[in-house]
Amino acid sequence: SAVISQKPSRDICQRGTSLTIQCQVDSQVTMMFWYRQQPGQSLTLIATANQGSEATYESGFVIDKFPISRPNLTFSTLTVSNMSPEDSSIYLCSAEAGARADGELFFGEGSRLTVL
Amino acid sequence: AQSVAQPEDQVNVAEGNPLTVKCTYSVSGNPYLFWYVQYPNRGLQFLLKYITGDNLVKGSYGFEAEFNKSQTSFHLKKPSALVSDSALYFCAVRPGRYSSASKIIFGSGTRLSIRP
The 10s digit of each residue's pLDDT in B9-44 is 999 999 999 999 999 999 887 888 999 999 988 889
Decide if A109 and B32 are in contact by the 8 Å CB cutoff. Answer: no
Contact list, A1 vs chain B (CB under 8 Å): 46
For CA atoms B114, B82, B35, B53, give the dihedral sign.
negative
CB of A43 within 8 Å of a chain B CB? The answer is yes
Question: What is the tens place of the pLDDT at every residue in A16-45?
Answer: 999 999 999 999 888 899 999 987 788 999
Question: What is the tens place of the pLDDT at every residue in A87-112?
Answer: 999 999 999 866 545 678 899 999 99
Amino acid at site B52: T
